[in-house]
Structure formats: structure tokens, C-alpha cells
């Protein structure tokens, strides 16, 4: 399993893709998908980025986390 990106060595995340009917591995840093053989399938589309961002924001709202990405300044706990 391509758990770590071979380009930037970031952790990858498995995402089930309903169009392709298989699980692809997403690197948030490189913003591309690989299959289980670590072959890059395609780049992440803007639409998918927005979707993931929207889900993340909803998750933050519902789980009441204080961390709001890197755009928020540090120092406030």
C-alpha cells in the first residue's frame, strides 16, 4: 500500500472513488492520486479540493475543534 508519498514522503490517505470504483490514495501536499501499486492516476481536481475542504469545515463545526488550518495564527490555544 502506498501509505507514504514517494515524492514528498507525506502520509497518503485512502479515498474511495465512486467513479472509478476503487480506492485511490491521495497526497494532500502533491494533490494527486495513486492506485494501490503507487502509480499516479491523476491530479486532484479543484472540485474535489472544494469538496474535501467543505467536508473538513463541516467536521470542524460538528466536532467543535479549535484548530482552523494553517491560516489561523498560532498562540491561541
In the complex, the residues that contact Zn ion under the rule CB under 5 A are 5, 7-8, 10, 27, 29-30
Beta carbon of residue 27, minimum distance to Zn ion (angstroms, whole number): 3
Of residues 2 and 60, the one with the C-beta less far from Zn ion: 2
Say how far apart CA 49 and CA 33 lie, in whole Å. Answer: 12
Phi then psi for residue 12, to 5 deg, are: -95, 160
Residue pair 25/35 in contact (Cβ under 8 Å)? The answer is: yes
Of residues 20 and 43, the one with the C-beta less far from Zn ion: 43
Of residues 8 and 54, the one with the C-beta less far from Zn ion: 8
Amino acid at each position: 500500500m502506498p501509505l507514504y508519498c514517494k515524492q514528498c514522503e507525506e502520509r497518503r490517505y485512502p479515498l474511495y472513488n465512486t467513479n472509478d470504483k476503487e480506492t485511490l490514495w491521495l497526497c494532500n501536499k502533491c494533490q494527486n492520486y495513486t492506485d494501490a501499486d503507487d502509480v499516479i492516476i491523476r491530479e486532484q481536481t479543484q472540485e474535489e479540493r472544494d469538496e474535501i475542504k467543505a467536508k473538513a469545515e463541516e467536521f470542524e463545526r460538528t466536532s467543535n475543534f479549535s484548530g482552523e488550518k494553517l491560516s489561523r495564527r498560532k498562540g491561541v490555544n
